[in-house]
Structure 1
Amino acid sequence: MIKVRLSSFVHRGRRQIKVDFPYSEEVNDHIKKFPKIRWSRTHQCFYLPYNQVLFLEFYAYLRERNFFVDYQQLNGLKTISKYKKREPRKSLIELLEGRYLEIYKEYKVYLQGLRHSPNTVAVYGHFIVAFLLFLKEKRPAAIDNPVVQRFVEQLVSDKGYSISSHRQLISAIKHFAERFNISGIEVTSLKRPSKQNRLPVVLSQQEVISLLRHTANLKHRLALALIYSAGLRISELIHLRKADIDIDRRQVRIERGKGRKDRYVILAESILPLLQNYLQTYRPRHFMLEGNAGDMYSAGSVRNFLRRSCFKAGIKKQVTPHTLRHSYATHLIENGVGLRHVQELLGHAKPETTMIYTHIAKKDLLQIRSPLDEAVLQFLEPDKHPTKISLSGRFKG
């Protein structure tokens, strides 16, 4: 019988339920389908909020597959015998009524009319549902900037939103004010937090090769190789069709990428044997990567097998599919490809977006000598080399 052990630990400043089990595809696939489960890249484990009801629901979920559940370390939670199944909680949209429900629907149509992507419509719509519930049937004339500010402060504090989500929240409210002509909201006075100038995580070329070598599954290896060799976004990978691969011209057509832009990228020579092997083995019908039913592959599946491959390859960095795209761009610049060409290959609308990779490309930085090496050179005899000077020993004084 497969044993799953539950224990408590602290993650992101809060107490969580840690899920440990001997790795197998069966257990992994079952656990990751639980609605509230999360993955910690820091602790390399699945976890749940430390919550009595969630614990009991998860226990029942595991017992459906006859897994043995060891929960002895969760002494603070109630026993299984007191478990009562709760009613499913309503979604936020189901809580809207009357005029506010109509406003939400009109807002979604407005965003669609602006040709925003389905993902943007969904994210902005979620924020506005929360805003309408916060207003509690206030009349439009009573909505002003202080009301908006209180809502933003409360939501950001309660949900712990990132700066990126905070910026999206403000954009959603600006669209809302413009659509319904709310005179009390001064759109120009709604300030978004500045973007974080965080440098992306990048793998070395040796780490990329190690990652591919430790990915045994043929489909999984092709997916990771395509992302890195062509600098694809994960959405571009799962939407990639067989017809988009032009082997003769060594090109991949990316249709309707981010910003609804088409582009061509290079099909690596070294990927051709892997590609041919994959096509003959799996025989995909429409999409390059297909699920068991021939439908589109899921982004979550890609993230999961990438995580497993990183673990097998001994890569400790926090790696996502976008990390491979970052690595692709950085390695292009290090190999001498011009910034304008890199921008076009990545599908960036602005050169400023591409320029971040100049900060992490190490080719020019390697030519700079550390001042410590310069100082050591001052004391060297002509026949000696800096690497032969030991700084770890004790100095005579």
Structure 2
Amino acid sequence: MKWKAQLISHKGEARIAIYFEKNPDLIARIKKFPSARWSVTKTCWHVADTNENRIKFKLPLAHTLLPNKEGMDGIATFKRYLFSKRYSQNTIETYTDALRAFLTFFNTKSIKDITNEDVITFNNEHILKNKYSSSYQNQVVNAIKLFFKIVQEKSIQIDRIHRPKREKKLPKVLSKEEVFKIIDATENLKHKTLLALIYSAGLRISEALNMKLTDIDSERMLIHVKNAKGKKDRYTLLSDKVLVLLREYYLVYKPTDYLFYGHFRSMYASRSAQLVLKNAAKKAGIQKDITLHTLRHSFATHLLENGTDLRYIQDLLGHSSPKTTMIYTHVSNDSLKKITNPFDI
């Protein structure tokens, strides 16, 4: 008795379809599955997509899946497309990984047969079921839209792929006292300089690690941030105190090109930098769950609390839209301090 099993999307749900010529014995066996149903529209029997059922119907388990050959070829083409459009290496890797996860989920389907319903199924059965963030879901949407933009023969309608509702989370911020406690608790000169530079200039970690000696303009007291997010250059502030720290650091470590190096003169790893902050915060007795990006958020918030115009903060941070910078008005406590709590009246 010949039959074929295939992963399908049916009414927004991931299912396993079983195709075979009409056979009473097979129908009787299929009906023994509690989840078995007949689909009039797809003209097949289908059961729940579980690892147990995948084993029974000789389909690969979810955690061992890879894209099929067509999917792998599509990913390679997609990667070349992103390179040709000069996307950053980080964006290329993020989008490629997101697309790989999507095409892996539907590795029993041809790319031309993937529909908008499949995108909904992927969101429900993969992203939401595994409790992935809405930002990851948004990355997947970006990758899918870009990928199917270059696919010639397709069933999917790009303009009907909806993005997840954006989460309105406020950034975590340290007080000035907490920032200086962390920096003071850092005994290693390289680590102290790195943390002080990130905070005082409002840098992203990638911007700090890609910083070169020639980017420090001590005459104008500015730092030239080159090829940052969105391939944009900008200038940000150079602190007098950090300049003194940089000069001391230079005399000890003698960097030649990049400002910060790892072992054996390799590029300093962002993971190592995050660990530096974590250890420094622990020494300083800071209990908050923070990252290096928290220092950038703190820089912006402290500028706002000092009365700096939002337009200048936007330029210093390199934000494309003022809406992005506006979020710091919600974490600044300067205005809140002026409000008298009714409990204290």
Q: Which runs of 5+ in 1 are unaligned?
A: 1-90, 375-397
Q: 1:224 is matched with which residue?
A: 195
Does structure 1 residue 367 correspond to structure 2 residue 338?
A: yes
Does structure 1 residue 134 correspond to structure 2 residue 105?
A: yes
Q: Which runs of 5+ in 2 are unaligned?
A: 1-62
Q: Structure 1: which amino acid aligns with 2:170?
A: L
Does structure 1 residue 146 correspond to structure 2 residue 117?
A: yes
C-alpha displacement of 1:97: 5.1
Q: 1:280 is matched with which residue?
A: 251
Partner deviation per Cα, 1:50-81 (whole Å, 9 max, x = no partner): xxxxxxxxxxxxxxxxxxxxxxxxxxxxxxxx
Which of 184, 204, 221 is the aligned partner of 2:175? 204
What SS does structure 2 have at the residue aligned with 1:131? helix
Distance in 2 (CA, whole Å) between partners of 1:92 and 1:181 is 29
Change (3 A) 1:323 1:355: same
Higher deviation after alignment, 288-297 or 257-266: 288-297
Distance in 2 (CA, whole Å) between partners of 1:321 and 1:314 is 17
Change (3 A) 1:164 1:189: same
Tell me if structure 2 keeps the 8 A contact 1:201–1:326.
Answer: yes
Does structure 1 residue 334 correspond to structure 2 residue 309?
A: no
Which of 210, 220, 234 is the aligned partner of 1:249? 220
Tell me if structure 2 keeps the 8 A contact 1:104–1:125.
Answer: yes
Q: Structure 2: which amino acid aligns with 1:128?
A: L
The normalised TM-score by structure 2 is: 0.78
C-alpha displacement of 1:187: 1.7
What SS does structure 2 have at the residue aligned with 1:312? helix
The normalised TM-score by structure 1 is: 0.68
C-alpha displacement of 1:231: 0.2
For 1:239-388, what aligned pairs fall within 5 Å after superposition? 239-374=210-345
For 1:101-250, what aligned pairs fall within 5 Å after superposition? 101-157=72-128, 159-250=130-221
Distance in 1 (CA, whole Å) between partners of 2:338 and 2:250 is 44
C-alpha displacement of 1:236: 0.2
Tell me if structure 2 keeps the 8 A contact 1:100–1:137.
Answer: no
C-alpha displacement of 1:322: 0.4
Alignment coverage as a number of residue pairs: 283
RMSD of Structure 2 on Structure 1 (CA): 1.8
Q: 2:28 is matched with which residue?
A: none
C-alpha displacement of 1:296: 1.4
Q: Structure 2: which amino acid aligns with 1:179?
A: I
Tell me if structure 1 keeps the 8 A contact 2:183–2:192.
Answer: yes
Q: Structure 2: which amino acid aligns with 1:273?
A: V
C-alpha displacement of 1:92: 8.0
What SS does structure 2 have at the residue aligned with 1:293? helix
C-alpha displacement of 1:226: 0.2
Distance in 2 (CA, whole Å) between partners of 1:365 and 1:266 is 27
Distance in 1 (CA, whole Å) between partners of 2:110 and 2:69 is 13
